[in-house]
Amino acid sequence: MQFTKQINLNCTVFQSDGNIVSNMGGEKVMMSVQNGKYYNLGEIGGAIWDWIKSPVTVKQVVKKLLSEYEVEEGECQQQVISFLTQLLNENLIIIKP
In whole angstroms, give the CA distance from residue 73 to residue 9: 12
Compute, in degrees rounded to 10, the torsion defined by CA atoms 57, 94, 29, 20.
130
Number of domains the chain contains: 1
89 found inside a domain: yes
Give residue 42's Cα distance to chain centre: 11
Reported pTM: 0.89
Determine how many CB atoms are found less than 10 A away from the CB of residue 28. Answer: 20
71 found inside a domain: yes
| Residue numbers of the domain that contains 51 | 12-17+43-96
What does the pLDDT look like over 61-81, one tens digit per residue? 999 999 999 999 999 999 999
What does the pLDDT look like over 13-52, one tens digit per residue? 999 998 999 998 888 999 998 888 999 999 999 999 999 9
Phi, psi of 3 (to 5 degrees): -90, 130
Measuring CA to CA, how many Å separate 11 from each of 1, 59, 60, 93? 23, 8, 10, 12
